[in-house]
Amino acid sequence: AQKVTQAQTEISVVEKEDVTLDCVYETRDTTYYLFWYKQPPSGELVFLIRRNSFDEQNEISGRYSWNFQKSTSSFNFTITASQVVDSAVYFCALRGSSNYKLTFGKGTLLTVNP
């Protein structure tokens, strides 16, 4: 069985603060894929990143960075110098190699205040 846990239900920060969203996963697959999606108030999910289990390099994209640690089964997402436009619900998701199905966490609502 697969499981994704996002323990932080809501986070509120002031603009320009750094913020880290936590994601912990469980899977029996030796090969798997992790994803982060952003859901702004409009509702559409926006794909942010995919990380393969065999590639443990961390990734940076502008103000976004992702820390993948297989040893702790975590795939955390950091936004540096947050902006009001970053306000959204962020979902972490997992797909095992043995299937196509995405298992989603319950999401973290990030509010960035001016």
Partner 1 sequence: DGGITQSPKYLFRKEGQNVTLSCEQNLNHDAMYWYRQDPGQGLRLIYYSQIVNDFQKGDIAEGYSVSREKKESFPLTVTSAQKNPTAFYLCASSSLGAVGYNEQFFGPGTRLTVL
Choosing from 42, 57, 61, 71, the residue that interacts with partner 1 (CB under 8 A) is: 42
Distance of closest approach, residue 81 Cβ to partner 1, in angstroms: 26
Buried b (16+ CB within 10 A) or exposed e, 37-72: bbeeeeeeeeebbebebeeeeeeeeeebbbbbeeee
d(CA 69, CA 37): 19
Choosing from 50, 63, 70, 113, the residue that interacts with partner 1 (CB under 8 A) is: 50
Asked whether position 97 contacts partner 1 by CB under 8 A, the answer is yes
Positions touching partner 1 (CB under 8 A) are 4, 9, 31, 33, 35, 37, 42-47, 50, 52, 91, 95, 97, 100-102, 104-107
